[in-house]
Amino acid sequence: MAVRKVTRSAKLFERAQKVMPGGVSSPVRAFKAVGGEPRFMKSGKGAYIKDEDGRTYLDYVMSWGPLIHGHAPKGLLAALGRAAKHGTSFGAPTRLEIELAEAVRELVPSMELVRFTSSGTEAAMSVLRVARAATGRDAVIKFAGCYHGHADGFLVDAGSGAATLGVPTSPGVPKAAAALTLTARYNDLASVESVAELAKDGVAAVLVEPIAGNMGLVPPEPGFLEGLRALCDRSGALLVFDEVISGFRASRGGAQHLLGVRPDLTCLGKIIGGGLPVGAYGGREDLMRRVAPDGPVYQAGTLSGNPLAMTAGLWALSQLSDKLYAKLERLGGLLAEGLSDAAHRAGTDVSINRVGSLLTVFFLDRPVMNYDDAKASDTAAYGRFFQAMLAEGIYLPPSQFEAWFLSGAHATRDVDDTIRAARKAFEAAAT
Ligand code: PLP
């Protein structure tokens, strides 16, 4: 009888669970949604990562988005090495923050003033504080299936109804905090209108991922974001784009540039930190001047504007080019087409959403336009597909409800390998 070798990853997972909840620092990493043991990663280079057992994988997670230039690019390592020699943190202003804020404003002109944080969660919590202070209103509208980090007011779902009052989705979120978050249906302007009516004292902000990436990838339908802009203009609510994923990825100027809708406020994260922990928020100057110390809206951070993180962000933004986006578009197109063809050959129904270098394969026979659609996907089939791809050395997001990320380090031959592996994996998913 064959004896299954206990891997180093398995041993590490056992050890990790003794000292950390679920053995991880962020839940999705534990593979609960797809089964099996998580792979403990040791190194990454370009589009590839290597685990503690020495197995190599083609990576489509790319740290969930920041690594648009691939793992450990030489230029970034050199810049970080130089910066670290000058010190790793000062808790005082540095030139690097100005340079990064200027670079952000040049690429995303609606961000007239920028404040750096250490994560996307902080950026999203803080931007809402500004919106509430500026409007004098408490209620905010978000969309079912959109994720804005784990602050209390964001852990709210609509259930399956089109538009309901906020109910907490995690124990520990006070009902009072959740009640201020009204949830509408993505790509459904009528649902936004009807939840807005529930806010007796008006809505402070409509917070949206302009290209949704956290229910799997769901692009906005034509007219959806324009409709939100018009609704905000009519009601005095502020339009806030959470571009933590789409920022610098959908285009150099993010989704707002690609889709031509200007928000009042924007949150950024991921790429702006080049793989180090950073977030940022910003927007109209009259709103952002309310932030301390210019104004009374308090928000701060010991490591905010950290020199190593600023250096990584500056390097990442300096490498964005038309050539890069053309390559990402070409590879994304090839990948989506190849996956669709592979699924068809295997007789598996899939619905593939893609915008540039972001895509999701839903195991469903109809288009996915909102969270209700996404939840109808066959997640067990995704789990089998995931495991079959992993066995072929392709590392996909360990959940149906996440986007795949391509990077400039991926090559045509990587996409070809992925499609070849997918032919087998779709058959495995069907059984
Ligand atoms: N907003 C969006 C759209 C995100 O995708 C995420 C994280 O994935 C966040 C906010 C939270 O960012 P962070 O994980 O850096 O706190």
- 8-60+321-430: which CATH topology? Aspartate Aminotransferase, domain 1 (3.90.1150)
Residue 281 falls in the annotated catalytic set: no
Q: Whose CA is nearest to atom 13 of ligand 1?
A: 120
Q: Strand 358-362 and strand 181-184: pairing? A: unpaired
Contacts of 126 (CB under 8 A, 6+ apart): 115, 117, 281, 291, 299
pTM of the model: 0.96
Ligand 1 environment, Cβ below 6 A:
64, 119-121, 124, 147-149, 209, 213-214, 242, 244-245, 269, 279
What pLDDT is recorded for position 158? 38
Q: How far is the CA of 130 from the centre of ligand 1 (A)?
A: 18
Q: Measuring from atom 12 of ligand 1, which residue has the nearest CA?
A: 120
Q: How far is the CA of 149 from the centre of ligand 1 (A)?
A: 5
Cα 176 to averaged position of ligand 1 atoms, centre (Å): 23
Where are the alpha helices (H) located in 63-111, listed in sequence order?
74-85, 95-107
CB 238, CB 287: distance < 8 Å: yes
Distance 124 CA to ligand 1 centre (A): 8
Per the annotation, the verdict on 42 as an active-site residue is no
Ligand 1 atom closest to the CA of 124, numbered from 1? 10
pLDDT in tens, 146-201: 999 999 988 886 333 333 445 667 888 888 888 899 999 999 999 999 999 989 89
Select which of 147, 325, 382, 395 is catalytic: 147
Q: Residue 62 corresponds to which tokens in the numbers above?
A: 């790319």
C-alpha 243 to ligand 1 mean position (Å):
9
Which of 116, 127, 148, 360 for a ligand 1 pocket mutation test, highest count of atoms within 8 Å of Cβ? 148
Going from N- to C-terminal start, the domains of the chain cover 8-60+321-430, 74-318
**Chunked in runs of 10, what are the mean pLDDT values of the chain (431 residues)?**
81 97 94 93 98 98 98 98 98 98 98 98 98 98 94 70 53 88 96 93 97 96 98 97 98 98 98 98 98 98 98 98 98 98 96 98 97 95 97 96 97 98 94 78
Determine the length of the chain: 431
pLDDT value at residue 270 = 98
DSSP 166-203: -EESSTTS-HHHHHTEEEE-TT-HHHHHHHHTT-TT-E
What is the C-alpha separation between 70 and 62, in angstroms, rounded? Answer: 7
CATH tag for 74-318 (out of 1.10.1740.10, 3.40.50.1010, 3.40.50.2300, 3.40.640.10): 3.40.640.10
**Contact present, 237 and 259 (Cβ < 8 Å):** no
Contact 235, 196 (CB under 8 A): yes
Q: Do domains 8-60+321-430 and 74-318 have the same CATH topology?
A: no
Q: Which atom of ligand 1 has the smallest separation from the CA of 120?
A: 12
Q: Which of 29, 146, 208, 245 to mutate to test the pocket of ligand 1 (most atoms within 8 A of CB)?
A: 245
> How many beta carbons lie within 10 A of that of residue 200, not counting itself?
6
Q: What is the model's pLDDT at position 170?
A: 80
Distance (angstroms) between ligand 1 centre and the Cα of 401 equals 14
Instruction: Clarify whether 349 is annotated catalytic.
Output: no
Answer yes or no: are the C-beta atoms of 156 and 180 closer than 8 Å. no
Q: Which two structure tokens, joined as six digits, stand for 128?
A: 């809402």
Q: What is the position in ligand 1's atom list of the atom closest to the CA of 277?
A: 15
Q: Is-contact 406 329, C-beta < 8 A?
A: no
Structure tokens at 360: 């999701």
Copy the structure tokens of residue 275.
């793989």
Calpha distance 321→319 (Å, rounded): 6
Q: What pLDDT, on a 0 to 100 scale, did the predictor assign at position 171?
A: 83
Distance, in Å, from the CA atom of 162 to the CA atom of 153, rounded to the nearest integer, reads 19
Looking at residue 430, its pLDDT comes to 86
Which of the residues 186, 264, 270, 372 is marked catalytic? 270
CB 8 within 8 A of CB 53: yes
